[in-house]
Amino acid sequence: MSEKAIVIDAPGGPEQLKLVDMAVGEPGPGEIRIRHHACGLNYIDVYHRNGTYPLALPARLGMEGAGIVEAVGEGVSHLRVGDRAAYTSQPPGAYATARVMPAKCVLKLPDAIDFETAAAMMLKGLTVQYLLRRTLPQGGLQAGDFVLFHAAAGGVGLIACQWARALGLQLIATAGSDEKCALALANGASHAINYRRDTAFAAKVREITGGRGVKVVYDSVGADTWEGSLDSLAPFGLLASFGAASGPVPPIQIGTLAAKGSVYVTRPTIFTHIATREATQAMGDDLFAMVSSGQVRIRIDRRYALADAAEAHRDLEARQIVGSAVLLP
C-alpha cells in the first residue's frame, strides 16, 4: 500500500520538506494503522527539521494527527477498526496520508470533537494539561493564584489561557504585540504584557502581583525570557521551562536559585508524561472533557494542504500563525 508522506533527507530549512510516496504496511503487535483526516503543526516539527532535535535520516515529521483506525495489531484492545481516533506520539510521522504507529498514545476520539480540532489540540492540549495539572509549585495551585505564561497567543498559550480561567487562576500572559495581548485577554488571561514594548516584563509582573511575584512561570521561549522569568517568581516559586523558541537556556548557577528566593526549576516534556497508555488516557480524558464542555475552544488559524508543508513551516517560523494550524492530506 503506497501513501504520501513528508520526508527530509538532511536537516535544514523548509525547502528540505519533500512529499514522497511511502509504503504503509500492516500493523504489528501493539500497533495500529490510521488514515489521517488532519495532521497537527507544532514548533517541535521545526526543531526536528532543522536538526535542533536530531532524527535518524531520512526522517518523517509530525507529532499529532486525527483520523480513522484502519487496522489493529495483536494486543491492542482499546481501539477497533473504524474508530475515530487522535494522538500525539513518538516517533514522528504524522505528516502523511496514513501511517502505522504505536497504539499506546492513540485515543478514541469523542464524537463531539471533529478531526481538525483534534489534530490541532492533542500535543498542545496535553501539554497544557501536564503543565497546569501536573507541573505545580509547592502546595499546588488554587483559584486566585497568579501564574505567568509566555507566548500566550500561540496554540499552547491560547489553550492555557482558557484552561487557567476555568481553574480560577489569574494568568498573566506575555505576547509580542498589542493584538496578540488582546487575543490572550479575550481567551481568559487576567493580564497581558507586550514584551516587545515592556522589555523588563518582570517589573510589570511585580506591579500586577503587588510586589510578590507569581507561584509558577510556564516558559516555552527560552533564552530571551529566562532571566525575567526567574525574576518574576515569588519565594519558593517554580519555573517550568518547556521549550526554547528563542534559543537554548543559558547554563545556570545553582546559587542563583537561592538568591532568587529558594526557587525551583524544572524541564518537563510531554513524552515523559504520556509514557504509559494509562497516563495518556487519563490526560486525554481531561482534555476531551474541557473541549467538549466548551471551557476550552481550539482556534485553528490556518489550514494547509499536506503538499504545502514547507509554506506552513515558513509561516510558523515567521510567527505568522496565531493559535493552531493543521495540514490536510
Q: Mean pLDDT of all residues in the chain?
A: 95
Predicted pLDDT at 33: 98
Tens digits of residue pLDDT in 111-164: 999 999 999 999 999 999 999 999 999 999 999 999 999 999 988 999 999 999
Cell digits of residue 118: 483534534
The mean per-residue pLDDT over the stretch 63-85 comes to: 98
> pLDDT: is 320 or 280 the higher one?
280
φ/ψ of 221, rounded to 5, equals -85, -45
Predicted pLDDT at 246: 85
C-alpha span between 317 and 51 (Å, rounded): 15
- Check whether 268 has a pLDDT greater than 80: yes
C-alpha span between 176 and 168 (Å, rounded): 25
Tens digits of residue pLDDT in 210-241: 999 999 999 999 999 999 999 999 999 999 99
User: pTM of the entire structure?
Assistant: 0.94
CA diameter of the chain: 62
Question: How far, in Å, are 39, 55, 202, 233, 282 from residue 298 at the CA level?
Answer: 14, 29, 29, 29, 20
Q: Which domains are delineated in the chain?
A: 2-124+273-328 (3.90.180.10), 138-267 (3.40.50.720)
3-state SS string over 172-186?
EEEECCHHHHHHHHH
20's CB contacts (< 8 A; 6+ apart) are 4, 5, 6, 7
φ/ψ of 41, rounded to 5, equals -120, 125
Confidence of residue 196 (pLDDT cuts 50, 70, 90): confident
Share of the chain above pLDDT 70, in %: 100
Predicted pLDDT at 131: 98
